[in-house]
Chain A
């Protein structure tokens, strides 16, 4: 059934008018936040006030400054770029599909390793895990969530293993795409706890080795700082925690005003129930970084564990190398190593077809039969409709 373009055109027009109105309201709200931030910057007792107010709120996710300075920015332009080992991890998965001839899951993790300044070709390690079935914690957990958690665990396991195996004299930066924070619905099952513990253990191991892990969040839609300001202003009630905002206002809009190109913000602690579960040494902090230009700011959020947040030199090293990575792809700044890890990890549709064929062949070899796609899938294929079953 084709799209009803007549209806769509009317809706686009309505939405367009609404968005224009919304933009001015967002702008006004950001300006208000910014003014409030400036008023409170460096105020004595700010940190205590915030700690007190936050402690009264349950399940809150927000930022918490490490001292009273809020508006300070940091540049590493004057510091020399020293060689480091950069590792970047990414993973992809095939989610089982009951409409296909065979329903199977697959995790593919890749780590890209690059020795900056060495002139040596980077190396890529991939690990592929075929899942006959995906084990869910309970009926509430979706298959997608279950497999995403397994993928994250596999990816971080590989990253930690490869980072630990480096045995390099150089500083090591271990990047992941997205937050370091384990972002899953909390469950009280032993297996969930075990998996979460596994992730914590990897961080702890990296901490022992002095490795600098960082979660790189491109185009962040987080409002951690805005929530902190809401709390400070007394605008956030216990009831409104966890509810969405009326307007799409994010921290990034605030830092677009604040951060010059290549500058980072101060480091904030990440206040979140899942972070509070973590051992103290690896609890997460974050900062914002402008990887863009004066005319085209590019605000990203970088999550780091406590031991990195506490080290100014580690912070500088991380900032300088993230900026250097982004400069390799200047028109769309994004860390080169992460891009390459993604390229290595992604399972293309051709690869998926080939894997499926291998499985079918094996199935037939072992006396299997009655392999066919669902009627729905067959019809879709006949209609030549293209579906992308891949997520990364």
Chain B
């Protein structure tokens, strides 16, 4: 379990939140990562979510620099390391954990502003994604204003490796079956998702490196 928070909540509702983090954070979670937001310790409540969008805020200054043909390395480093422009992450809630265990329902209440966010490790991803019969998939499939196939593919790519490494090699195939069952009535949507997933290795059961 990672102990280093990488960002803090800016705003939240019951389905998702926006979080800010600095571009220079060393362990910035990529798109599709599972993250955890502790709300309180007693009784325990932590919210799980997927990084569903990463936006680097732009300003006119950056636009000017970008329009320059030759941007020196120092200027690029300055923009990345020093400039006070945060990365805003959209986090789609997929469940929570309490003293009763993992739930794939939306959290009972949203996290509070400035709550810290932690990136989940492989074991945590495998535990969350393999319990509850893929119930959390519905949050991804019902998400609005998000490229669902891309989010799904990014998440599955990470969860596939995590589950293989945690001794659950059939996770991917079972997920495909669940996905197809849930979306087979919407053929075009389903095929878009499968196309997004098709480069992933669902067959190999060997542990991923």
- Answer yes or no: do A and B interact: yes
Residues of A within 8 A of B (CB): 114-124, 327-332, 336, 339-340, 343
| Inter-subunit contact B61/A328 (CB<8 Å) | no
- A340 and B82 contact, Cβ closer than 8 Å, known pairs A120-B77, A122-B74, A328-B75: yes
Contact of B78 among A117, A121, A331, A332 (CB under 8 A): A121
Residues on A with C-beta less than 8 A from B68 are 327-330
Cross-interface CB contact of B64 among A114, A117, A121, A330, cutoff 8 Å: A330
Residues of A within 8 A of B80 (CB): 121
What is the distance, in angstroms, from B130's C-beta to the closest C-beta of chain A?
42
Q: Is the CB of B78 within 8 A of A119?
A: no
- Give B85's nearest chain A residue, CB to CB: A343
Give the residue of B67, B75, B78, B81 whose beta carbon is less than 8 angstroms from that of A330. Answer: B67
Q: Please measure, in the bound complex, the distance between the C-alpha atom of A242 and the C-alpha atom of B83, giving whole angstroms.
A: 43
Nearest B residue to A334 via CB reads B64
Write out the residue numbers on chain B whose beta carbons fall within 8 Å of the beta carbon of A332. Answer: 64
Interface residues on B, range: 10 to 19
Known A330-B68, A332-B64: A115·B74 in contact at CB below 8 Å = yes
Residue ID in chain A nearest B82 by CB atoms? A124
Partner of B61, one of A116, A117, A120, A329: A329
In the complex, which of the residues B72, B74, B75, B77 has the most CB atoms of chain A within 10 Å of its own CB atom?
Answer: B74
Contact of B67 among A119, A124, A331, A336 (CB under 8 A): A331
* Contact among B64, B65, B77, B84 for A119, CB-based, below 8 A: B77
Q: Which B residue's beta carbon lies closest to that of A336?
A: B75
Instruction: Name the A residues within 8 Å of B84 (CB-CB).
Output: 343
Say how far B25's CB is from chain A's closest CB, in angstroms.
15
CB pairs A–B below 8 angstroms (20 shown):
A116-B74, A117-B74, A119-B74, A120-B74, A120-B77, A121-B78, A121-B80, A122-B74, A122-B78, A122-B82, A123-B82, A124-B82, A328-B68, A330-B68, A332-B64, A336-B75, A340-B82, A340-B83, A343-B61, A343-B84
Q: Give chain A residues whose Cβ lies under 8 Å from the Cβ of B57.
A: none
**Smallest distance from the beta carbon of B92 to chain A beta carbons, Å?**
27
**Quick check: A340 and B64 within 8 Å, CB to CB?**
no
Chain B residues positioned under 8 Å from A116 (CB to CB): 72, 74
Residues of A within 8 A of B83 (CB): 340, 343
B73 within 8 A of A: yes
With the chains together, A331 CA to B82 CA distance in Å? 22
Cα–Cα, bound, A149→B65 (Å): 33
Given A340-B82, A343-B83, A343-B84, does the pair A119, B61 have CB atoms closer than 8 Å? no
Chain B neighbourhood of A118, CB < 8 A:
73-74
Q: Is the CB of A121 within 8 A of B72?
A: no
Residue of B nearest to A124 (CB): B82
Beta-carbon contacts under 8 Å, B42-77 to A = 61, 64-65, 67-68, 71-75, 77
Assess the B67–A340 pair: CB atoms within 8 A: no
Cβ-neighbour of A328 out of B65, B73, B82 (below 8 A) = B65
Q: Which of B61, B67, B82 contacts A121 (CB 8 A)?
A: B82
9 further A-B contacts with Cβ under 8 Å, apart from A120-B74, A331-B64, A343-B83, are A116-B74, A117-B72, A121-B81, A122-B74, A122-B82, A123-B82, A328-B65, A332-B64, A340-B83
A334 to chain B, nearest CB (A): 10
The CB with the most chain A CB atoms within 10 A, among B64, B73, B84, is that of B64
CB distance from A296 to the nearest CB of B (A): 15
Which 3 pairs show the lowest CB-CB distances between chains A and B?
Answer: A121-B77, A119-B73, A121-B81
**B65–A114 CB distance below 8 A:** no
Q: Which residues of B contact A120 (CB under 8 A)?
A: 73-74, 77
Is the CB–CB distance between A329 and B64 below 8 Å?
yes
Q: How far is the CA of A121 from the CA of B75 in the complex (A)?
A: 7
CB neighbours of A124 from chain B (8 A): 82
In the complex, how many angstroms separate the beta carbon of B35 from the nearest chain A beta carbon?
Answer: 26
CB closest chain-A residue, reference B24: A121
- Could you say which residues of chain A place their CB within 8 Å of the CB of B64? 329-332
Q: Which chain A positions have C-beta within 8 A of B67?
A: 330-331
CA distance A332 to B75 in the complex (A): 16
Contact of A340 with B78 in the complex, beta carbons under 8 Å:
yes
In the bound complex, CA of A115 to CA of B78 (Å): 11
**B28 vs chain A, min Cβ distance (A):** 17
A123 to B65, CA, bound (A): 18
Residues from chain B with a CB closer than 8 A to the CB of A343 are 61, 83-84
Residues from chain B with Cβ under 8 Å of A122 in the complex: 74, 77-78, 82
Interface string of B73-110 (1 = CB under 8 A from A): 11101101111100000000000000000000000000
Find the A residue at minimum CB distance from B59.
A343
A117: chain B residues within 8 A (beta carbon): 72, 74
Residues on A with beta carbons closer than 8 Å to the beta carbon of B71: 328
Residues of B within 8 A of A331 (CB): 64, 67
Contact B61 A114 (CB under 8 A): no
Q: How far is the CB of A170 from chain B (nearest CB, A)?
A: 13
Q: Chain A contacts of B77 at CB under 8 A?
A: 119-122
Chain A min CB distance to B193 (Å): 40
Closest B residue by C-beta to A340: B78
Query: What distance in Å separates the Cβ of B140 from its nearest Cβ neighbour in chain A?
Result: 34
Neighbouring A residues of B75 by C-beta, 8 Å: 328, 336
Within 8 A of A (CB), among B110-155: none
**In the complex, residue of chain A having the shortest beta-carbon distance to the beta carbon of B80:** A121
- B73 contacts A114, C-beta separation under 8 Å: no
**A114 and B82 contacting across the interface, CB-CB below 8 Å:** no
Q: List residues of chain A with CB within 8 A of the CB of B78.
A: 114, 121-122, 340
CA distance A119 to B71 in the complex (A): 11
In whole Å, how far is B83's beta carbon from the nearest beta carbon of chain A?
7
